[in-house]
Amino acid sequence: MVEVTARLCQRLGLPRSSGQIFGLLYLSPHALSLDEIAEGLELSKASVSTGTRQLLGWHAIKQVWKPGDRKDYYEVQADLAEILRANYIGFFRPKVDASKRKLTLLLELLDADLKSGQIDAADHVVCKQRLESLSKMQSRIQRLLPLAEKLL
């Protein structure tokens, strides 16, 4: 499992160590400290610290405390649907919403550049067609978002 999640993260362009940490915690019956993770995976404590921060940001793991122990411990968010839901709400949806505003602004700036003479009419047409094509794709994605929300 550790190797599978490490390779998956690599294929997604994410750090291999984050995948290793997730795989280890996914199979662990109890929460592990940074030291235990570093020792179990033979990684540096700095690498494990960075990986756990990334996984916390993705809502893939959670930090837990053990009474009487000053160390931080981590356990996996075992519900993969919850990981997808949290990342959709916290990352993907805001990016899609912001992209609409940015595309609208770019189209306005493009028209202003044409009026001010900073670009010629032929370049304006090409750029406008491409931005409008992106805008149509963005609109399609936004129409699919309610369906995605129901699936999550």
Query: pLDDT digits over 41-90, tens only?
Result: 999 999 999 999 999 998 999 999 988 888 999 999 988 888 888 888 88
Q: Name the one residue in this structure whose structure tokens are 């550790």.
A: 2
- CATH 1.10.10.10 matches 2-76: yes
Residue 74: its H or E element:
strand 72-76
**Rounded Cα–Cα distance for residues 48 and 94 (Å):** 29
* Domain extents in the chain: 2-76, 80-151
Report which residue type is found at 90. Answer: G
What does the pLDDT average to over 17-25? 95
Rounded distance between C-alpha atoms, residue 87 and residue 54, angstroms: 12
Mean pLDDT taken over the chain: 91
